[in-house]
């Protein structure tokens, strides 16, 4: 970002220049034209890195958490916060299976996550305290991680009941969305939010985001009703028929795809700004790939490897959806 000459401070402020490939603008209003995107050149480089690493680790822990569940390692460490009664680290005996190490490794990754979040909070307190919209998300990030530690602990204590396991995933999804928000805010100013598309398109995008949230929640309900709901050997189930909830989940995806195309088309027709189009194209492409993985894993009887890919793509989907919604407006440097 910082090396891009278009990010030079000399270009601050709204621009009416079109960035459409044809070079023709269909709008005379500056509000729906190309945004002025750049991060603050005065910020130390580590600040941007802290925000990026935080997002990557938030996505990564969804995958390692999935690995724990899919390899049946959830009770590898049978107690929490201690791994085995009286000890915080695994006790290696001849009969010890790999599960204890998978679960313990995932717990260790939590420390990386806490370090990344601490770096973000430190960056905000040291360099961004004067800016709008950072303190509250920083507090939410900390609270979310504390909530995850508590939910993770309860999940172990209730023998991985699916309701707690799926809450664990959903709080992670919220933390990913929050991390994307922070990164987007870092790359813009503190001026008032300027819409890059008409209000009706933004309203349609909000409806699409709500349907996207329903897709994700229904996905966790499918998981909670199937063989990967928690403990691999004696999984408790939410009690729904997997086939029914899986089709409901897939139908919500089809609705989501239709709405995404509608938002993308509307953004193309009503705005010369490139960012909204790009963001919704990325979201659409990711959704199609995720849809193919979803149908394939359903047809193949949910093999663990594909389910893990589906989880990674679900985490990326949350990030892309958050970015797509935020790409419909921009804050210039005040």
- The contact set with ligand HEM (CB under 6 A) reads 66, 166, 169, 215-216, 219-220, 222-223, 226, 228, 246, 249-250, 253, 256, 287, 290-291, 294-295, 297-298, 302, 307, 310-311, 314, 317
Nearer to ligand HEM, 34 or 218 (CB): 218
Nearer to ligand HEM, 208 or 272 (CB): 208
- CB 210, min distance to ligand HEM, A: 13
- Separation CA 303–CA 95 (nearest Å): 27
- CB 148, min distance to ligand HEM, A: 14
Nearer to ligand HEM, 50 or 246 (CB): 246
Pick from 129, 314, 301, 324: which is nearest to 207 by CA?
Answer: 324
- CB 246, min distance to ligand HEM, A: 5
Nearer to ligand HEM, 48 or 208 (CB): 208
Tell me the DSSP string of 243-307: HHHHHHHHHHHHHHHHHHHHHHHHHHHH---HHHHHHHHHHHHHHHHHHHHHHHHHHTT--HHHH
Nearer to ligand HEM, 169 or 280 (CB): 169
- CB 168, min distance to ligand HEM, A: 9
Q: What are phi and psi of 152, to 5 degrees?
A: -60, -45
Q: How many CB atoms lie within 10 A of CB 41?
A: 10
Q: How many CA atoms lie within 13 A of 110 on its CB side?
A: 20
- CB 82, min distance to ligand HEM, A: 26
């Amino acid at each position: 970002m910082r090396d891009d000459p278009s990010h030079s401070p000399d270009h601050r402020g709204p621009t009416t220049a079109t960035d459409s490939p044809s070079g023709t603008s269909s709008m005379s209003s500056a509000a729906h034209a190309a945004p002025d995107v750049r991060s603050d050149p005065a910020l130390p480089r580590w600040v941007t890195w802290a925000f990026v690493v935080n997002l990557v680790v938030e996505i990564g822990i969804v995958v390692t958490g999935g690995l724990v569940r899919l390899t049946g390692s959830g009770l590898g460490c049978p107690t929490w916060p201690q791994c085995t009664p009286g000890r915080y680290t695994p006790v290696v005996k001849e009969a010890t299976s790999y599960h204890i190490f998978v679960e313990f490794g995932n717990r260790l990754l939590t420390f990386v996550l806490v370090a990344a979040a601490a770096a973000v909070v430190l960056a905000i307190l040291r360099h961004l305290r004067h800016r709008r919209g950072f303190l509250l998300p920083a507090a939410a990030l900390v609270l979310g991680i504390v909530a995850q530690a508590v939910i993770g602990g309860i999940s172990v204590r209730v023998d991985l009941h699916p309701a707690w396991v799926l809450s664990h995933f959903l709080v992670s999804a919220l933390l990913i969305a929050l991390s994307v928000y922070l990164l987007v805010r870092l790359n813009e100013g503190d001026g008032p939010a300027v819409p890059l598309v008409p209000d009706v398109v933004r309203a349609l995008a909000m409806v699409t985001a709500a349907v996207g949230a329903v897709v994700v929640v229904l996905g966790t309900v499918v998981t909670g009703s199937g063989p990967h709901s928690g403990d691999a050997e004696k999984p408790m189930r939410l009690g729904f028929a997997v086939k029914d909830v899986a089709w409901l989940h897939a139908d919500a995806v089809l609705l989501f795809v239709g709405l995404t195309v509608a938002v993308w088309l509307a953004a193309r027709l009503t705005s010369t700004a490139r960012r909204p189009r790009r963001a919704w194209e990325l979201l659409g492409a990711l959704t199609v790939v995720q849809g193919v993985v979803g149908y394939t894993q359903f047809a193949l009887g949910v093999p663990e490897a594909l389910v893990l890919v589906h989880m990674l793509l679900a985490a990326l989907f949350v990030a892309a959806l958050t970015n797509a919604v935020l790409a419909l407006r921009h804050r210039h440097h005040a």
